[in-house]
Amino acid sequence: MEAERADDREILDIAGEDRAEFLQGLVTNDIHPLEEDGGGIVYTAILTPQGKYLADFFVVALADGRWLIDVHESLAEGLVKRLNLYKLRADVTVAPSELKVGRGLGPAPEGALSDPRHPSLGWRLYAPTPGRAPETDWEALRIAACVPESGVELIPGETFILEAGFERLNGVDHRKGCYVGQEVTARMKHKTELRKGLATVRVAGAAEPGTEIVNAQGKAAGRLFSQAGGQGIAHLRYDRATGAMQAGDAVVERAG
Angstrom distance (rounded) from CA 245 to CA 49: 36
Residue 133 pLDDT:
63
pLDDT higher than threshold 80 for residue 189: yes
Q: Does domain 195-254 have CATH number 2.40.30?
A: yes
pLDDT band, very low/low/confident/very high, at 136 (cuts 50, 70, 90) = confident
pLDDT higher than threshold 90 for residue 224: yes
Q: Does domain 4-144 have CATH number 2.60.120.650?
A: no
Residue 127 pLDDT:
92
pLDDT higher than threshold 80 for residue 173: yes
Q: 93, 68 in Cβ contact below 8 A?
A: no
Rounded (to 5) percent helix, strand, coil in the chain: 20, 35, 50
Residue 208 pLDDT:
93
pLDDT band, very low/low/confident/very high, at 38 (cuts 50, 70, 90) = confident
* CA Rg value for the chain: 19
pLDDT higher than threshold 70 for residue 132: no
Overall average pLDDT of the 138-155 stretch: 96
Full-model pTM: 0.94
Domain with CATH 2.40.30 in the chain: 195-254
Amino acid at 255: A
Domain with CATH 3.30.70.1400 in the chain: 4-144
pLDDT higher than threshold 80 for residue 103: yes
pLDDT higher than threshold 90 for residue 130: no
Residue 37 pLDDT:
73
Overall average pLDDT of the 107-118 stretch: 94
Residue 115 pLDDT:
98
